[in-house]
Amino acid sequence: MSQWPDGHLYAATVSFDFDAEEVWIGENPANANAPGVLSQGAYGPKVGVPLILDILEDAGIAASFYVCGKDALRHPESVRSIIEAGHEVAHHGHSHTSPTSLGPGEERAELEDGLRALRDLGADVVGYRSPSWEFTDDTLDLLTEHCLEYSSNLLDNIVPYLHSTHDLIEVPISWILDDAPHFWFANDTWEKTIRSTREVLDVWLPEIDGIARYGGHAMVTMHPMITGRPSRLAMLEEVIEHLKRTNAWIATTREVADYARANGPLELRRTARS
Ligand SMILES: [Zn+2]
């Protein structure tokens, strides 16, 4: 018996960390004055997002986009286009700064400024993914104080669950199903090479199949500036086709969190290898 809606074998979310220029400024504040470096991030809203939205529309699925407030202020039309296409927009910091490098007052200001920037564009924000996938001792308190409903930051499960200390659903992520560890390239080091889409599909599809086998939730995390490149857009289409072919419930993080809240605790159940 499936634990997911409509008899689906497992659940999957197609998610994007919008990132754009802020991720490069977060890497090194001096990049704020480096138009060449920033243009790598600008590719996301300028080229990647419209091409990704086309693919999602053709596939008939809704995705979740995690957006920094400052990126939303810089690219309001791009964020509006995501909202108007029916996708989820959620919080990814105001700047792309790890909460652990902020003081308590600063962390609150980042959360509130980011929320305001996204809500001013019409986003109904209920989720938070930290720019560094990391918390401080205050983060979960701040999220519940601001009536957020879920976090997507921890790597400790393959099913969503209710936090033991806070009224928040955790929808776990993983490095293995993130595009950045495989594709991220910055010319400050030439030691990390760029992987082919075939290599990454060889990593991703068996992991997705493994999660399916346990009836879990596959969180695929991408970045418009990375997966928005032409070869990887074809890979995105292939991943979505695979999710459909293997009977995934493809839902936004918000939908998955709502489902887990109403139907949890969800379990891992091993079924026969196909
Ligand atoms: Zn990010």
Beta strand segments in the chain, E: 10-17, 64-67, 88-91, 127-128, 150-151, 161-162, 169-170, 217-222, 248-250
Binned at pLDDT 50, 70 and 90, residue 274 comes out as: low
Distance in Å, CA 7 to ligand 1 centroid:
33
Distance in Å, CA 92 to ligand 1 centroid:
7
Distance in Å, CA 125 to ligand 1 centroid:
17
In a domain, 274, yes or no: no
CA gap 58, 78 in Å, rounded: 19
In a domain, 122, yes or no: yes
In a domain, 273, yes or no: no
In a domain, 74, yes or no: yes
The DSSP element (H or E) to which 142 belongs, if any, is: helix 139-145
pLDDT at 273: 73
Strands 161-162 and 127-128 turn out to be unpaired
Distance in Å, CA 98 to ligand 1 centroid:
10
In a domain, 44, yes or no: yes
* pLDDT tens profile 190-244: 888 899 999 999 999 999 999 999 999 999 999 999 999 999 999 999 999 999 9
CATH of residue 120's domain is: 3.20.20.370
Q: Which residue has the higher pLDDT, 103 or 147?
A: 147
What is the DSSP secondary structure assignment for residue 211, as one 8-state letter? H
Distance in Å, CA 1 to ligand 1 centroid:
36
Percent of the chain with pLDDT over 70: 100
User: Helix (H) and strand (E) counts for the chain?
Assistant: 12, 9
In a domain, 180, yes or no: yes
Q: What mean pLDDT, rounded, does the chain reach?
A: 96
Q: Please state the rounded mean pLDDT for residues 140-144.
A: 97
Strands 169-170 and 248-250 turn out to be unpaired
Question: Which structural domain range is residue 79 located in?
Answer: 8-263
Distance in Å, CA 129 to ligand 1 centroid:
8
Domains: count for the chain:
1
Q: Are 173 and 221 in contact (CB under 8 A)?
A: yes
Could you give the 3-state DSSP secondary structure of residue 217?
strand
Distance in Å, CA 221 to ligand 1 centroid:
10
Range scoring the smallest mean pLDDT among 13-22, 96-105, 254-263:
96-105
Quote the radius of gyration of the chain (alpha carbons, Å): 18
CA gap 259, 21 in Å, rounded: 34
Distance in Å, CA 258 to ligand 1 centroid:
23
In a domain, 3, yes or no: no
CA gap 155, 173 in Å, rounded: 5
Distance in Å, CA 63 to ligand 1 centroid:
16
pLDDT at 135: 95
Distance in Å, CA 273 to ligand 1 centroid:
35
pLDDT at 67: 98
In a domain, 257, yes or no: yes
Distance in Å, CA 272 to ligand 1 centroid:
36
CA gap 223, 177 in Å, rounded: 12
Q: Are 183 and 25 in contact (CB under 8 A)?
A: no
CA gap 207, 72 in Å, rounded: 32
CA gap 111, 129 in Å, rounded: 11
